Structure 1
Amino acid sequence: MLSLRGANYIVGALGLCALIAATTVTLSNYEQLSVAVVCVLVFFIVGRRKSRRTQIFLEVLSALVSLRYLTWRLTETLDFDTWIQGGLGVILLTAELYALYMLFLSYFQTIQPLHRAPLPLPDNVDDWPTVDIFIPTYDEQLSIVRLTVLGALGIDWPPDKVNVYILDDGVRPEFEQFAEECGALYIGRVDSAHAKAGNLNHAIKQTFADYILILDCDHIPTRAFLQIAMGWMVADRKIALMQTPHHFYSPDPFQRNLAVGYRTPPEGNLFYGVIQDGNDFWDATFFCGSCAILRREAIESIGGFAVETVTEDAHTALRMQRRGWSTAYLRIPVASGLATERLTTHIGQRMRWARGMIQIFRVDNPMLGRGLKLGQRLCYLSAMTSFFFAIPRVIFLASPLAFLFAGQNIIAASPLAVAAYAIPHMFHSIATAAKGNKGWRYSFWSEVYETTMALFLVRVTIITMLFPSKGKFNVTEKGACWSRKSLILARPTPTSSLPPSWGVAC
């Protein structure tokens, strides 16, 4: 008898063949326009139902419409009169190919969000594991670190099975004194080699617990953190990492400066609300640097945290999974921290993420080497290549200028053909993503976020691709004070220079 998995493969293969066949059917512009109208009507009719199967159907429909658009672009719109038109047209087409590639990868990545629920710990507390809580700090203020340390000391776990460590890369006497006063342990380091990864590796050699909970120094944990997140790791000894969301109680620069404020979801919500949950289905959850529990055995099996790139977190998870370890994601916020206050700081953080992920793409490409399943490879590939978005975004913004100022027509198509192919493609890709991301990201604000970031990330993207060893780790500044009257954009006025009458608020 044919197994269920075999039947699914056959159905999937037949569906793929049907999709390819539907993509390559030749239609006139009027016929294609009729098909486009029907597809839009189907979207609205089917989309009224809320289920995972409905979302998958809409993604397949979107893929069909987009593939027909791609076929049209490749076969009918590349007729150029001059080499300048040809060059500009190919550049635009390359950007569109990237956008389609990321669209299809995102559909694959989030095809079945796992929505993992907590597992209970053993009834006997004596069977609970030992935990070291690491709170790395470099140049942050003690007022910020203090709250996280006190929160960690208050975590509900047997006192003889947990230790809280301040990992001070600045060797500051006031931090050591605070650790003594509050009951935490202190590990200082003088050289600061390899930044955060080096700090963590230094601490691992001096501690011994079964598990390590890592908290950025501004992430204050709830009392139930370990009891909520530890169950899966105790139940499944193959799990090396349990990642939880990064939740922020302060507004990010977009929420702070735009009129919509808190009515707009934070920029990171899409990643922690949708993408990581989708990664979990493919066993491709990666470490995000904080709010995560790691198995010491797994970290030691790869020689410690990765130091080859500036995003040691994602690279460490990749190396663990190459060694056969699993990772997991629990979409329950169990800690809360400070968002970046200034747009310049926000951009600097994203530049580091972009540099680090592209470095991993260059030095430890997930599509190469052993140890990963296909789903894991594609999820990591999506995470890394998503940071190339800045270059296509700038191309899309600049392309109309070729016609407006230079008279260069870089798409050889009639308005009817554009209406029949391009507009349906854009409608389905945006509307389908909006349904899948509902509550986590608004489509309009995605454009705002990416456009703002793109202008700053283009340079670092190109340089890192060409010279992956360039650049160094930078610490994200947190806990600044801002005036109620100041407009915080790319170059905010330092609070120290504001008139006393402005009333600075922390």
Structure 2
Amino acid sequence: MMLTEHWRQWRRQATRGSSIVHLLIIYAHALLVNDQQPLRGSHSKYSFHYWFPQINVNHLRPLDPIRMVIQLLWLMLFKGPSELPDNTVATQSRFRRSVTHYKNKALMRYKSLRRLLLPIKRWQRRISKKTIALSAEITWAGGWVLYLTLAVILIGLGLIITIPMATGAQVIMLLAFWSVAMWVRDIPGRIPMMLMMIISITVSTRYIWWRVTHTLNWDSGLNLTLGLLLLAAELYAWTILILGYIQTAWPLQRKVAQLPADTSLWPSVDVYIPTYNEPLHVVRNTILAAQQIEWPQEKLNIYVLDDGKRADFKAFCAEVGVGYLIRPNNYHAKAGNLNHALTQTSGEYITIFDCDHIPTRSFLQLTVGWFLRDPKLALLQTPHHFFSPDPFEKNLNLFRSRPNEGELFYGLIQDGNDLWNASFFCGSCAVLKRGPLEEVGGIAVETVTEDAHTALKLHRRGYSSAYLNIPQAAGLATETLAAHIGQRMRWARGMAQIFRIDNPLRGKGLNWGQRLCYLNAMLYFLNGLPRLIFLTAPLAFLLLGSYLVFAPAIMIAAYALPHIIHANLTNSRTQGRFRNSFWAEMYETVLAWYIFRPTTVALFAPHKGKFNVTAKGGLTERSFFDWKISVPYVVLVAMSFTGLGFGIWRLAYGPEDQFLTVILNLLWVFYNLIILGGAVAVAEEARQVRVAHRIAVQRPTHVLTKGGHRYHATLVDYSEHGVALTIKYPHALAIDEVFQFTLTAGERPVSFRARVISVRDQSVGAILLLNTLEEQRNFVGATFSRADAWLGWRDADNLDQPIRSLREVVAIGLRGYQRMAKQFVPFLEPIFVHFQTLWLWLTTLLPQRPGSRGELL
């Protein structure tokens, strides 16, 4: 039969049914047609591979039809029409247009459901246009109408939260909430996101109300005690959830304020670079970059604050021409160092950079303008950006492929704080106004988180703060898990100290938005104990037979699962660009045991504890498993496996009426084991042999050889010691050949000499030959301190995909058990390798985002 007859027959079948089977036939036909070769391997929206990235059309596997059906179902139910290709593009072949047409037709029902949301979208646009005008026109009576409306809404929500329901009614109501949340989650704008938050708060509060009123066993002392512990942990998580929604509901997204054209009106600025025990090679680039900040030189003064009192630092500062300050003692660590510098300098503004944070030349021009616009502004913070991987990224080999641990705070939370005039000082990459800083007694010395406490004092005095979410400096992340944990322990201890001695809920000077933002920041670091409770709670039933939630398993599922699902859906919508789903649990698990102790001590004895300096610029010469750090995780893993064994025994020999309860607790234990496996995986330190980290870029350059040949090239990465280039002509350079390449520093071109150390086809690796201080300064200016050096580092399209995140976290957990087996029982390592292979194979059956590469990690 001719191809056209085949096509007519299948088209008639699809027209009559528009079923999944017919769509499957159409797509299968696309694989067999010889004249459709462009479809194969293409990532166009008109290609098969775009919509089915997990299927290789050149090497079909036995289960590919199942993968195809699952992907089709997912596309029909969960992918919006806006993501479908346009079937009116004239340049596409008739076959491709027909495939697209029938795919759209199969999604018609979903489209009709989406159209129900059009009134909401119109309402959202109308509200966004008229909000300011309406707010100015609200009368006294109109205000009462608004308050009455809000009261009615709150009463309605109160009834939804507190009214008792049978299991069936509870399930129907929560399915309705879930349907609304799924419909609006892909609609852009703040109103749909706020609706998701309201639904999540309603469902979670209903769960907490049910837990408090219906699930405590008052007849058993053990059950009541353990149940109250779990309930307290859940109340803590619920509080953090709601405070987080308040904090991030409407990020301000502040823009740059222009400076006056007349530079004589620009204020004087003192740049402080505090250091204690860091090597000179870590601090050198920060000093050289600070000298290139574009600001009137007579109004810019740079000072290195050396609490280590080292001769080589003093000599280098004298050589480059910057100030060098020391003090007779080291009281109050970094805070004392900064306060001593305040007494020795006189600039109107203070800019602070940690000694490894290299500023861009545009730093002051982008930040100081807000101070001239707002006389009450005392602090402006910019993000802490890191060009080296943190321990999670390094040990799991995920650098720049997933948002790092700090991205949520600097990418979203600080922007949300800015709406409430509650942006925190983070110790570096910030500008402070000298007058208000001196008014509050300088940098706070009462706690070990002197930065956040200083911001709190400024806010109490009525001063404003601001956050500019543009990376204008970059530094080194913590290099080992031990150093990372040590740094977080100091932060946790300091926040607990502030909570005790300067609680934001008490005292004068703060509005309620500021109080809640500070409260959330402090409470977050108390998550150690709740996290440990969640990790051990299912063991109470599996090992001790204790009912922590005194209710039937079906009711627990009906209340708890919607609470968990809506919280994850909403956080995925609000935080997706800055933290992927399920990763927060792994981050918190790694820190839980270690921050639990210092925060507990600080709550009872807030003046105990000392400032610890985070080491930077070190090496990890070989990979090793950090036994000392991993002990708490290993103990929790052993306890969980014990509970797992008892749970399986209960399934086989326990009472039949406990079957569902055992299943729920086993699922809980399985999830905990996945998260604990991830913590163990991070504890194996990856090898790091480069002191200078390579920074990936794509910048055009020119290469000039000794023989006079000139080549167009691309700079693909650089460090303070070397560069990597790609040259169009293979083997244009030879090993040990010295050449020159040109970059721009600001608007002027500068040339640098380098020696080739490796050549592979078009790729060239070279060592820099920077023999003078001026050459080093020029290279820093052309690379690290460029105004756009860190713009575009964040992937704006890196949206959260919960299914993919779950697959990744499970794979990392299995990798952790493989590493643990390698340390304890090497003969079991192949078993976990097979488990990883099996899991990777199973995940190929799950749907994947169109256009992805079909890869797990």
Scaled to the shorter chain, the TM-score interval is over 0.9
Q: 2:444 aligns with which of 288, 293, 306?
A: 306
Aligned to 2:167: 29
Distance 2:151 2:334 in 1: 46
2:630 aligned with 1:445 = no
Task: Specify whether residues 426 and 184 from structure 1 end up closer, same or farther in structure 2 by C-alpha distance, changes over 3 A only.
Answer: same
Task: Specify whether residues 279 and 504 from structure 1 end up closer, same or farther in structure 2 by C-alpha distance, changes over 3 A only.
Answer: closer
Task: Specify whether residues 59 and 205 from structure 1 end up closer, same or farther in structure 2 by C-alpha distance, changes over 3 A only.
Answer: same
Aligned to 2:259: 121
In the TM superposition, 1:88-99 aligns within 5 A as 88-99=226-237
Alpha carbons 2:367, 2:468 under 8 Å: kept: yes
In the TM superposition, 1:452-463 aligns within 5 A as 452-463=590-601
Q: Counterpart amino acid of 1:505?
A: R
Task: Specify whether residues 2 and 468 from structure 1 end up closer, same or farther in structure 2 by C-alpha distance, changes over 3 A only.
Answer: same
SS of aligned partner of 2:427: coil
Number of aligned residue pairs: give it: 496
Aligned to 1:287: 425
Alpha carbons 1:242, 1:292 under 8 Å: kept: yes
In the TM superposition, 1:363-374 aligns within 5 A as 363-374=501-512
- Calculate the TM-score normalised by the size of structure 2: 0.57
Aligned to 1:496: none
SS of aligned partner of 1:443: coil
Q: 2:240 aligns with which of 102, 105, 109?
A: 102
Q: Give the deviation of 1:487 after TM superposition.
A: 4.0
Distance 2:367 2:145 in 1: 36
Task: Specify whether residues 201 and 259 from structure 1 end up closer, same or farther in structure 2 by C-alpha distance, changes over 3 A only.
Answer: closer
Alpha carbons 2:620, 2:688 under 8 Å: kept: no
In the TM superposition, 1:122-137 aligns within 5 A as 122-137=260-275
The alignment yields a C-alpha RMSD, in angstroms, of 1.6
Aligned to 1:158: 296
Alpha carbons 1:76, 1:413 under 8 Å: kept: yes
Distance 1:489 1:35 in 2: 49
Distance 1:80 1:43 in 2: 37
Q: Counterpart amino acid of 1:486?
A: S
Q: 2:354 aligns with which of 216, 219, 239?
A: 216
Which is higher, the Rg of structure 1 or of structure 2? 2
SS of aligned partner of 2:466: strand
1:200-222 per-residue CA deviation (whole Å, 9 max, x = no partner) reads 00000011111000000000000
Aligned to 1:172: 310
Aligned to 1:242: 380
SS of aligned partner of 2:504: coil
Distance 1:447 1:490 in 2: 21
Q: Give the deviation of 1:405 after TM superposition.
A: 1.0
Aligned to 1:423: 561
Q: Give the deviation of 1:67 after TM superposition.
A: 1.1
2:486 aligned with 1:486 = no
1:430-466 per-residue CA deviation (whole Å, 9 max, x = no partner) reads 1101110011001211111001110211111211111
Task: Specify whether residues 491 and 481 from structure 1 end up closer, same or farther in structure 2 by C-alpha distance, changes over 3 A only.
Answer: farther
Q: Counterpart amino acid of 1:218?
A: D
Q: Give the deviation of 1:48 after TM superposition.
A: 1.9
Q: Give the deviation of 1:259 after TM superposition.
A: 4.2
Q: Give the deviation of 1:190 after TM superposition.
A: 2.9
Q: Give the deviation of 1:303 after TM superposition.
A: 1.4
Task: Specify whether residues 467 and 503 from structure 1 end up closer, same or farther in structure 2 by C-alpha distance, changes over 3 A only.
Answer: closer
Q: Give the deviation of 1:318 after TM superposition.
A: 0.5
Q: Counterpart amino acid of 2:537?
A: S
Aligned to 2:139: 2
Q: Counterpart amino acid of 1:118?
A: V
SS of aligned partner of 1:368: coil
Task: Specify whether residues 205 and 98 from structure 1 end up closer, same or farther in structure 2 by C-alpha distance, changes over 3 A only.
Answer: same
Alpha carbons 1:344, 1:490 under 8 Å: kept: no
Alpha carbons 2:492, 2:525 under 8 Å: kept: yes
Aligned to 1:265: 403
Q: Counterpart amino acid of 1:111?
A: A
Aligned to 1:499: none
Aligned to 2:544: 406
Q: Give the deviation of 1:235 after TM superposition.
A: 1.1
Q: Gaps spanning 5+ residues in structure 1: where?
A: 493-501
Q: Counterpart amino acid of 2:354?
A: D
2:330 aligned with 1:192 = yes
Distance 1:71 1:239 in 2: 42
Aligned to 2:496: 358
SS of aligned partner of 2:379: strand
Alpha carbons 1:286, 1:314 under 8 Å: kept: yes
Distance 2:150 2:197 in 1: 14
2:316 aligned with 1:316 = no
Q: Give the deviation of 1:237 after TM superposition.
A: 1.1
SS of aligned partner of 2:325: strand
Aligned to 1:68: 206
Aligned to 1:497: none
Aligned to 2:690: 505
Task: Specify whether residues 195 and 77 from structure 1 end up closer, same or farther in structure 2 by C-alpha distance, changes over 3 A only.
Answer: same
SS of aligned partner of 2:264: helix
In the TM superposition, 1:309-348 aligns within 5 A as 309-348=447-486
Q: Give the deviation of 1:9 after TM superposition.
A: 4.5
Distance 1:84 1:290 in 2: 49
SS of aligned partner of 2:510: coil
Distance 1:215 1:5 in 2: 47
Distance 1:300 1:58 in 2: 44
Once the two structures are overlaid, the 10-residue window that deviates more, 16-25 or 191-200, is 16-25
SS of aligned partner of 1:205: helix
Alpha carbons 2:217, 2:223 under 8 Å: kept: no
Q: Give the deviation of 1:6 after TM superposition.
A: 6.2
Distance 2:292 2:148 in 1: 54
Task: Specify whether residues 122 and 13 from structure 1 end up closer, same or farther in structure 2 by C-alpha distance, changes over 3 A only.
Answer: farther
**Greater relative contact order (Cα 8 A, min sep 6): structure 1 or 2?**
1
Alpha carbons 1:342, 1:490 under 8 Å: kept: no
SS of aligned partner of 1:191: coil
SS of aligned partner of 1:237: coil
Once the two structures are overlaid, the 10-residue window that deviates more, 296-305 or 75-84, is 75-84
2:196 aligned with 1:58 = yes
Distance 2:409 2:146 in 1: 29
